[in-house]
Structure 1
Amino acid sequence: MISVLLVAVFAAVVAVAVMVFGGGGSDATADGQGGEDLVVRENSHRLDTAPGEVTLVEFLDFECESCLAAYPVVEQLREDYAGQVTFIARYFPVEGHFNGQNAAVAVEAAAQQGEFEAMYQQMYATQTQWGEQQTSMAELFREFATDLGLDMDAYDSAVADPATLERVLADRDDGLALGVQGTPTFFLNGEQLTVGSAEELIAAVDAAVNE
């Protein structure tokens, strides 16, 4: 189960995000104009795939402190609801985070070699080292790729390929069309959640699983 400390940290950081980003958007649901197709694309990155209908989608920015606070909560949910919930991560680099887009491109380049989750985890594990910098950290991200044992020629080509950035921005564009205003923003079964604490996220997932 998720510790009281994690709940408190998540709540405190998300409270700041609510003030800055307006709580990640409205309570609008993704329906009516193909909205559900925007929440989950065929090429969306799945951290876990479950046979049931419960799907939790997170629009995230790897440089976002609120996303870092949410990360262990999502990881614990993945453990607690393994085989019951499909977990999907989508890119939403936020303006003002100098390396948010660079990080997403690095993760997408790793994903092209089947290492999305490993690079995703590495970004959060090291965010305090590279976040809030005003110079490119692309070389550090390249070191992460080397540590993961990636084919570096392929990685470098992917990072330089405009299609890799286009893939990242396609996620962001879907988020904007859905009303995402900040990160993290969660969609549960196609409906945008307004989450003010870890407890609220956990309760929403639990209710969906036990419907």
Structure 2
Amino acid sequence: MSKNARLSLIIVAVVAVVVAGFIFFSQNNNTTAAPKSADGKVTVVEYLDLECPSCRAAYPGVERLKTEYGDRVTFDVRHFPIPSHRNAELAAVAVEAAGAQGKRDDMFRLMFDTQQEWAGQQTSQQAVFLGFAQQLGLDQAAFEQALADPALRERVLAQRAEGSKAGVQGTPTFFINGTKFTGAPTYDALKAAIGKVLS
């Protein structure tokens, strides 16, 4: 084999490795915001804003689907606080702070149940959220400390950044096994979309 032929083969091999690596890392990056299920089950990712009326409207249907599907479908709720909603980011941090004491789902429910009372306000609703923590029987000092923890705020903002990268432009936005759900997220529409993936 001539020197030129050998050199050509080496160059082709290097290019092949670089291309394969690029494809691999590109695929990995795409799974961050809207993961696909690897075990034959269904994963539903929802990006929501706790101050958003449409998210509140979708909430009961999503909870009903969780109960109906059980462990056949994984529901992954992620934060996407919209900047124009004055208290959405703080509400998301409050949910995560409650989660540190095992009450994340309870705080989610309370936020939506009382949304009409605190949403749309242009002043901080921190006192209201502290009241929610008391209502849920949380350790107040630990909750306040968690509420002020920059790491929780960073987690919320990281989820919003992930959502933006995945194409989220408004809330609620759902992904079913990595595919963006389109249309109104009613109970019936979501159930039909999940059913298609399960069948």
The verdict on a shared fold, with TM-score over 0.5 as the criterion, is: yes
- Residue 174 (structure 1) shift: 0.5
Whether the 8 Å CA contact 1:59–1:175 is kept in 2: the answer is: yes
Residues 52, 85 of structure 1: 8 Å contact kept: no
Structure 1 SS opposite 2:50: coil
The one-letter amino acid paired with 2:163 is G
Quick check: 1:139 aligned with 2:127?
yes
Match of 2:192 in 1: 203
Residue equivalent to 2:62:
74
- The aligned counterpart of 2:106 is 118
Q: Determine which of 72, 82, 91 is the counterpart of 1:84.
A: 72
- The Cα of 1:208 is off from its aligned counterpart by 1.7
Aligned-pair identity (%): 48
Q: Is the 8 A contact 2:46 2:175 kept in 1?
A: yes
Displaced runs of 4+ in structure 1, greater than 4 A?
none
Q: Does 1:58 align with 2:46?
A: yes
Query: What is the match of residue 160 of structure 1?
Result: 148
Query: Runs of 5+ in structure 2 lacking a partner?
Result: 1-25
- The answer (yes or no) to whether the contact 1:52–1:84 under 8 Å persists in 2 is no
2:33 is equivalent to residue 38 of structure 1: yes
Query: Which residue, out of 73, 96, 114, partners 2:84?
Result: 96
Q: In the alignment, is residue 171 of structure 1 matched against residue 159 of structure 2?
A: yes
More helix per residue: 1 or 2? 2
Distance, in Å, in 2 between the alignment partners of 1:52 and 1:120 is 28
Could you tell me whether the CA contact under 8 Å between 1:110 and 1:116 is conserved in 2? yes
Closer, same or farther: CA 146–183 of 1 in aligned 2, 3 Å: same
| Amino acid across the alignment from 1:149 | G
Contact 1:61 / 1:92 at 8 angstroms: preserved in 2? yes
The aligned length equals 170
Alpha carbons 2:32, 2:162 under 8 Å: kept: no
The aligned amino acid for 1:117 is: D
Higher relative contact order (CA 8 A, sep 6+): 1
For 2:196, give the aligned amino acid. Answer: A
- Tell me the amino acid that sits aligned with residue 136 of structure 1: S
TM-score w.r.t. structure 2 length?
0.81
TM-score by length of 1: 0.76
Provide the rounded CA distance (Å) in 2 between the counterparts of 1:152 and 1:39.
34
Residue 186 of structure 1: aligned partner: 174
Q: In the TM superposition, what whole-angstrom CA distance separates every residue of 1:85-134 from its partner, at most 9, and x where no partner exists? A: 11110000012111111100110111111111010111001001111111
